[in-house]
């Protein structure tokens, strides 16, 4: 059986939530001006409060050529060679901006708790940075976020208590809707058990674990690169994590043979989940999914079966309460 041609069926249910099979479009990437905008969800009827963070740079007197082409990905500016070596790593521009946002979110939550009298005031305004594992709610889906199933999906076997990693947030084009993979449903099988006819799967990746990725027919894989730079031929979901499909399997095998990555850095998924853009938004508005940002360390952790509970607990508040509720059988 070829892993890349497996069709996942669940005859026990008819799931209206994911009904739009979409084709995976060609890779594309854009890099524009740095303008980090996000909305923090308020837990009251007043809606959202918008916080805009703009990153600007100041040209130094002895750097007259620092206006390099910012549209070229992964190419350092030629006008900052001397300053780059003296700059601490934590201040490099390739730092995960999502971690920066998580620190701001945590700081706001601390200030809110202090104002409400839930936490004694402190003399210092410095907060401890977020750890390796963090998660917090966001109001809208984005590439690299996770969709955490709510209790409304407890009656659907396919998505009950699942965590979907959104590989692309999608566009309004009918063939470019949001899609992702379920990351907390291990099949407890290796690729070698599938008797794949694909040579690279049968050899290079034979010991890699398989996961149920969703009800739609296609197979994908995640590649954990850690601190390595973006790898050509693969699409970045977040810093340190890329994804690929069948057409990039040969390139993945070459990376392993060259020693750039290891087979253990891969996670293979049978099937995927996909929506039309408005379809996903509607499901979120109907409270089928909680949308969250979380760290790559959380997503790439060794254990995934308790990921649903772990993310909700890190999100805190009403989400933490949901993680402790018994599953509804309908």
CATH topology for 3-28+135-323 is VC0467-like (3.40.1740)
CA atoms 234, 238, 240, 245: torsion sign: negative
Where in the chain are the domains? 3-28+135-323
Whether 192 contacts 176, CB under 8 Å: no
* 3-state SS class at 105: helix
First to last CA, the chain: 34
Q: Where are the beta strands (DSSP E) in the chain?
A: 35-41, 48-54, 135-137, 146-149, 163-168, 179-182, 186-190, 209-212, 216-224, 235-238, 241-245, 266-274, 289-294
Distance CA 288, CA 152 (A): 6
Closest CA relative to residue 227, chosen from 209, 241, 237: 241
Q: Over its length of 330 residues, how does the chain's per-residue pLDDT go in tens digits?
A: 444 444 444 433 334 454 455 555 444 444 334 344 444 444 333 333 444 444 444 444 444 443 344 334 444 444 444 444 444 443 344 467 899 999 999 898 888 888 887 655 444 445 556 678 999 999 999 999 999 999 999 989 999 999 999 999 997 776 789 999 999 999 999 998 887 777 778 789 999 999 999 999 998 999 998 776 678 889 999 988 999 998 899 999 999 999 999 999 999 999 999 999 899 999 999 999 999 999 988 998 767 889 999 999 999 989 999 999 888 775
Distance CA 193, CA 184 (A): 20
- 19 is written with which tokens? 């009904």
* 3-state SS class at 285: helix
Q: For residue 211, what is the DSSP state?
A: E
Closest CA relative to residue 204, chosen from 3, 44, 55, 22: 3
- Tokens 């379920």 — which residue? 182
């Amino acid at each position: 059986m070829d892993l890349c041609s497996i069709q996942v069926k669940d005859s026990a249910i008819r799931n209206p939530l994911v009904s739009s099979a979409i084709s995976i479009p060609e890779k594309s990437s854009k890099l524009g001006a740095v303008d980090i905008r996000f909305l923090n969800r308020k837990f009251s009827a007043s809606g959202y409060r918008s916080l805009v963070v703009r990153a600007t740079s100041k040209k130094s007197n002895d750097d007259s050529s620092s206006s390099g082409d910012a549209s070229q990905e992964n190419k350092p500016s030629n006008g900052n060679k001397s300053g780059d070596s003296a700059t601490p790593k934590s201040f490099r521009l390739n730092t995960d901006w999502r971690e920066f946002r998580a620190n701001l979110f945590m700081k706001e939550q601390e200030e809110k708790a202090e104002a409400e009298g839930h936490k004694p005031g402190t003399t210092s305004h410095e907060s401890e940075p977020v750890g390796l594992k963090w998660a917090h709610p966001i109001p809208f889906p984005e590439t690299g976020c996770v969709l955490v199933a709510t209790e409304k999906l407890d009656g659907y076997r396919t998505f009950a208590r699942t965590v979907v990693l959104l590989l692309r947030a999608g566009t309004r084009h009918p063939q470019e809707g949001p899609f992702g993979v379920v990351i907390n449903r291990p099949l407890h099988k290796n690729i070698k058990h599938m008797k794949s006819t694909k040579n690279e799967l049968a050899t290079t990746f034979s010991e890699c674990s398989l996961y149920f990725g969703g009800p739609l027919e296609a197979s994908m894989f995640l590649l954990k690169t850690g601190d390595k730079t973006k790898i050509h031929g693969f699409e970045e979901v977040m810093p340190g994590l890329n994804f690929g499909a069948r057409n990039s399997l040969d390139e993945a095998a070459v990376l392993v043979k060259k020693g750039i990555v290891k087979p253990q850095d891969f996670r293979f998924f049978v099937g995927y989940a996909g929506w039309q853009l408005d379809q996903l938004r509607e499901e979120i508005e109907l409270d089928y999914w909680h949308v969250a940002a979380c760290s790559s360390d959380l997503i790439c952790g060794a254990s995934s079966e308790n990921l649903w509970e772990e993310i909700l607990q890190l999100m805190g508040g009403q989400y933490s309460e949901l993680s402790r509720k018994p599953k509804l059988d309908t």
